Amino acid sequence: MNAEMEEAKQGFKQECEELLQDMEDGLLRLESEPEDADCLGAVFRAAHTIKGSAGVFGLDDIVHFTHVVEGLLDNMRDGSIGVTEDAIALLLKASDHMEIIVPHVIENDCLQDEALRLHGDDLIAEFNRFQNIGSVDQSSVATLSNNGEDNPVSVEDSRVVSAENWHVSLRFGRDVLRNGMDPLSFLRYLGTLGEIVNVTTLFDELPSADQMDPEECYLGFEIAFSGDVEKQAIEQTFEFVRDDCIIHIIPPRSSISRYVEFIKSLPDDDLKIGEILVEGGILTRRELDEALQKQNNAADKLGDVLVKEGLVDREVVEAAVGKQSNTRKKISAEKHTVRIEAGKLDHLINLVGELVIASARSFLLAQKNGDVELVESISDTTRLVEEIRDNTLKARMVQIGDTFNRFQRVVRDISKSLNKAIKLTIHGGDTELDKTVIEKIGDPLMHLVRNSIDHGIEDAETRVKNGKPSEGTLALNAFHDSGSIVIEITDDGAGLNREKILAKAVANGLVADNQSLTDNEIDRLVFEPGFSTADQVTNLSGRGVGMDVVKRNIEALRGSVNVFSEPGVGTTFSIRLPLTLAIIDGFLLGVGDATYVVPLDMVVECVELTAQECEDTRNNNYINLRGEVLPFIRLQQLFGERKVSQRRENIVVVQYAGQKAGLVVDALLGEFQTVIKPLGKVFQMLKGVSGATILGSGEVAVILDVPALVGQVEHFNFVSPKTHTEHRIVH
């Protein structure tokens, strides 16, 4: 039982992490769109879910703190407190605190850290002070009194819905029955205060029969109530279940805007417009039936009929139509997902890799035996293995958008601390990448984002002087290119100060005083260890630690990073990474007696060298490929392989980051599913090699590091045969 409880707690912990991230994303969105009621509702539901789930496990410290947070959000939803920058800042502080205490309380069953407890108490006190001073001034609104209830209605929107009854919308929590409460007893008590005119029983949350728990409550009610009572008396009816329910109470003759907000807050369910209006207490069932009969005798839409008959205001109908449309979009976009431990998925990938190797060996043996039927059978098996491989790899692929979105908070907080106005834009968030790469790319991205905010984007005053908008822009972009994923971090700041960079490099002994460097070579000096041009050390930068770490971590993922800058316009850091670190489609190359592999996505074409071309290129490292100069590397010389003179040489043209290069090989051996095996520590510093794989024959083949090989010919000196002058190829 203890093991089951611990497993359930870990599931709760993971759920809280996701809900807290949703809360933070929603709060940041509200900062720019304070009128987004759906977003505010989503933040409230996230806090409410955390509180309810924590109550199931008896984690009272989480319940107590989250209840205070939920109270402020509830006041913001009903309009008694505005969605202001101060309110959002306070809620973000609470979200940060919850992110710390949730794992602590789950592990210890209570809050044992006194410093955390005191910090939580201070936050609660701050919440109480804020709610006392942040309430909406009721003197600024007009009121309509009905049945002793003060119903605030704004001066600008004094239109009301002619409903003569109270409307009570009630959704019981799942644990109401477990807590010993009888849902019907609350309705019976409400009936003693007045008359229950109509009750609609709802089953919004009712699961299928095989998933139903008899101890859980799935009920909801929409109640039309008539009585000479105040709103507080109705609220007190449900006091014992207030924390476990979602309750909306709308007085008679309430403003249209109040009903519009209520319709938006209804649970997502695929209801028709009429049913939404009935649930909202705006229409009676009899009025809806009469309107439907009139609709059948006319070509009008139901909403037009309701407005024409004076039963519903046009604005309320439009809100119901919008609710119906959004709900159907959400329902159609829902995907059934299954949680699975990362370790199990990694083990599955390893097994698929071994299956690929075994399948390749079987195919070679079948070909060797010359059994045609066996070859065909194993070909079918190989095809199925490829499908299994592709689908298994897709299971590891996750969208990079979640990683990008986490930087919304980073940009907000750092820009405020530096007194800068910066907007973050995200493009390509749906681009998918191997989860292992996603997990390891977070820190390098953080360094680059902080660098762009601190060094790149100027303060508002400087930007205005330079004819720029006062608000700077930081953009994160991701896209696929040639079997790789490219991530760009772009700012519209001042750009890199090359004179300052070069002077610092000379002072540090990185560059000779008289050495001539291109602009790109100067820019890349920022990746040198210990290099910094900051005038003073801050908590963000100036220590010269970060950019070299970025480069090292990215290269450890078999990727590369580059920088492009234009003074006064901005800077772009471009990261290029492989899509996966597990299995790739490879292209086999024969060099001497050895076999090498290059990623198939990077192969552009293969060119056979004639005897004359072999002779012409004997002392040159380039070839004229259809009018284009193509530098190349002879792998036989690079790796010291034994020369096989009888073989005709071929050039495999590869491309990486828009740069082309040739690899001269002895034989082209075709495509091969390559399971990437990491090299041992002894070989980690070996240039031009990124890993190894096992062939179907059992032999080991080396996987070539194409980016490194292309880099070797990026800056290459050669003598033109026509002009006998020295040229420098710079791609």
Residue 423 in tokens: 């907007």
Of 22-36, 319-333, 528-542, the range with the highest mean pLDDT is: 22-36
Average pLDDT over residues 706-725: 56
Give the pLDDT score at 722: 38
Instruction: Tell me the two tokens of residue 124.
Output: 């609660």
| pLDDT of 186 strictly over 80 | yes
**The token pair that represents 275 in the structure block:** 């049913």
Residue 717, H or E segment: strand 715-719
Q: What is the mean pLDDT of residues 184-205?
A: 82
Q: How far is CA 242 from CA 67, 291, 662, in A?
A: 11, 36, 72
Compute the mean pLDDT over every residue in the chain, rounded to the nearest whole number. 77
One DSSP character per residue, 419-467 reads: T--EEEEEE-TT-EEEHHHHHHHHHHHHHHHHHIIIIISPPHHHHHHTT
Q: What is the pLDDT of residue 287?
A: 61
Beta strand extents in 366-414 (DSSP E only): 397-399
Query: Which strand ranges, in their side-by-side order, compose the sheet holding 195-202?
Result: 195-202, 220-226, 166-172, 245-250
- Which amino acid appears at position 132 of this protein? N
Tell me: pLDDT of 295 over 80.
Answer: no
The number of residues making up the chain comes to 731
Written as six digits, the tokens of 484 are 């790789």
- Looking at residue 327, its amino acid is T
Residue 31 exposed, middle or buried by CB count within 10 Å (0-12, 13-18, 19+): middle
Question: Above pLDDT 70, what percent of the chain?
Answer: 76
Q: pLDDT band for position 238 (50/70/90)?
A: confident
Q: Say what the pLDDT of residue 314 is.
A: 61
pLDDT category at 323 given cuts 50, 70, 90 is: low
Q: What is the pLDDT of residue 476?
A: 94
Bridge partners (DSSP) listed for residue 146: 149
Confidence of residue 38 (pLDDT cuts 50, 70, 90): confident
Say which amino acid occupies 296.
N
User: Would you say the pTM of this structure is higher than 0.95?
Assistant: no
Asked whether 219 and 200 are in contact (CB, 8 A), the reply is no
pLDDT reading at 373 higher than 80: yes
Q: What average pLDDT score do residues 261-277 get? A: 57
Q: What is the mean pLDDT of residues 516-529?
A: 84
How many angstroms separate the CA atoms of 579 and 397, rounded? Answer: 9
pLDDT band for 116, please (50, 70, 90 cuts): confident
**Would you say the C-alpha torsion 482, 487, 493, 495 has a positive or negative sign?**
negative
What is residue 492's predicted lDDT score, i.e. its pLDDT? 92
Give the lowest-confidence range in 304-313, 430-439, 497-506, 606-615. Answer: 304-313
Average pLDDT over residues 114-129: 87
Q: What is the mean pLDDT of residues 510-522?
A: 82
Structure-token pair, residue 504: 């610092």
Nearest to 342, CA basis, from 378, 395, 391: 395
* pLDDT over 70 (residue 165): yes
pLDDT at 582: 67
Instruction: Report the pLDDT value the prediction gives residue 145, as an integer from 0 to 100.
Output: 34
Q: Could you give the residue ranges of the DSSP H alpha helices within 478-585?
A: 498-507, 519-523, 547-556
Q: Which residues pair with 563 in a beta bridge?
A: 573
For the chain, state the CA radius of gyration. 34
Q: pLDDT (tens digit, 9 = 90+) per residue, 631-642?
A: 888 888 888 877
For position 226, what pLDDT does the model report? 85
Residue-level pLDDT at 540:
56
**What pLDDT shows up at residue 718?**
40
pLDDT tens, 445-491? 888 898 888 888 998 889 999 899 999 999 999 988 766 789 999 99
Q: What is the DSSP letter of 300?
A: -
What is the residue type of 85? Answer: E
DSSP 217-246: ---EEEEEEE-S--HHHHHHHTGGGGGGEE
Closest by alpha carbon to 134, among 72, 65, 66, 44? 72
- The burial of 684, by beta-carbon neighbours within 10 Å (0-12 exposed, 13-18 middle, 19 or more buried), is given as exposed
